[in-house]
A = this chain, B = another copy of it.
Amino acid sequence: MKEIKHVTVLENQMIAPYMYSMTLQADGIAELAKPGQFVNLYCKGEARLLPRPISICEINKEEGTINLIYAVAGKGTEEFSHIEEGETIEILGPLGNGFMIDESKRRNIVVGGGVGTPPLLELVKQLKGEVDVYLGFRSYPILVEEFERLGARVHIATEDGSVDFKGNVLELMKKENVKGDIIYSCGPKPMLRAISQWAASQNIPMQVSLEERMACGIGVCVGCVCKTRKKDEGDWQHRKVCKDGPVFWSDEVIWDE
């Protein structure tokens, strides 16, 4: 039977302003996890009932550990940031479907924005062929060295120009005239929408990992929907980000919201 597990926090450190990296001894979760999947973390604070969905950033199947990278965005993630090494946390996962890796594609483009970057790290680990990683941040890049260590070419845009290209990641991609066979992407919705339109214009298939406010994370509450239309469907459907996603083909997503 599935269950919420109490797991040990092996490491929980600030890696940039308001950004933390947490490593968990997550036996039974690490073994099953795929890039793009997420876990539910539960708060101790009794005022906060709902799980916090956090993407899996790295998976170590041998050690049975996973790594998460999260931003302090509110009371729940703030609570997480105070957890000390050796304490436990309640977790459920892996959840969702993750990226569908297409090994036939040689030239992979991976695009991350802000806290959308972490799940792409494990993805890049598992991709075959060439990988160009385009990352956009407001100001502080994260995980750059980690991507480089995997042999990927990393291209960085920051909104305030504090590191490398000044502007957004799509502008950088256009400027560098990027070419590729497939795009894997995760980040804020406006970024995903813009890149998805560009990808369509370039005829490059693209996968996007979406975010939505969740209540259960396991597909029962129907709270986390996005508008999608599969190729063979006449009308659009509200699909669940937690169960049908979080990764979708970008041409199936209806971006009008």
Nearest Cβ on chain B to A82's Cβ, whole angstroms: 13
- Measured between beta carbons, the chain B residues less than 8 angstroms from A47 are 46-47
> A45 — nearest CB in chain B belongs to which residue?
B46
- Measured between beta carbons, the chain B residues less than 8 angstroms from A45 are 46
Kindly state the separation between the CA atoms of A45 and B47 in the bound complex, as whole angstroms: 8
Interface of A is mostly: loop
Q: Which residues of chain A from 15 to 67 have any CB-CB distance to chain B below 8 Å in the complex? A: 45-48
Kindly state the separation between the CA atoms of A47 and B46 in the bound complex, as whole angstroms: 6
> A46 — nearest CB in chain B belongs to which residue?
B47
Kindly state the separation between the CA atoms of A48 and B48 in the bound complex, as whole angstroms: 13
Kindly state the separation between the CA atoms of A246 and B181 in the bound complex, as whole angstroms: 79
Kindly state the separation between the CA atoms of A48 and B46 in the bound complex, as whole angstroms: 9
Nearest Cβ on chain B to A137's Cβ, whole angstroms: 34
- Measured between beta carbons, the chain B residues less than 8 angstroms from A46 are 45-48
- Measured between beta carbons, the chain B residues less than 8 angstroms from A48 are 46
**Taking each of A45, A46, A47, A48, which has the highest tally of chain B beta carbons within 10 Å of its own beta carbon?**
A46
Nearest Cβ on chain B to A87's Cβ, whole angstroms: 14
Q: A90-120, CB under 8 A of B: which get 1 and which 0?
A: 0000000000000000000000000000000
Nearest Cβ on chain B to A49's Cβ, whole angstroms: 10
Q: A62-74, CB under 8 A of B: which get 1 and which 0?
A: 0000000000000
5 A-B residue pairs with CB within 8 Å? A45-B46, A46-B46, A46-B47, A46-B48, A47-B47
